[in-house]
Amino acid sequence: MRITVRLDDALLEQAKCEATRRSETLTALIEQGLRLVLAQSRPHEQRKRSVVLPTCRAGGGLLPGIDLNDSVTSLDIMEHRR
């Protein structure tokens, strides 16, 4: 399909040089760039979905000595340093 696209002169010159360096056509370079941009936007759209995390309904709570606001101490306990 043929279309007309307006590009900044400096950007067009850079694109032409890059296409030549890669031994590709300008069209092929533009198509690759569009595919990259479109591929990057897909995961972002998927992240907008809400995620339901599994929850544990068993009682009990935290082990003695565990403070969720003190990750260093918790790590020491998990690695049996305390």
Q: For tokens 């897909």, what's the residue? A: 42
13-26 per-position pLDDT tens digit: 999 999 999 999 99
**Domain locations along the chain:** 9-47
CB atoms within 10 A of CB 10: 8
Query: Helix 26-47 to helix 9-21 angle, to the nearest 10 degrees?
Result: 100
pLDDT of residue 44: 56
For every residue of 5-72, DSSP letters joined together read ----HHHHHHHHHHHHHTT--HHHHHHHHHHHHHHHHHHHHHHTS---------S--SPTT--TT-HH
Q: Mean pLDDT per 10-residue run, the chain (82 residues)? A: 91 96 95 90 64 75 78 81 65
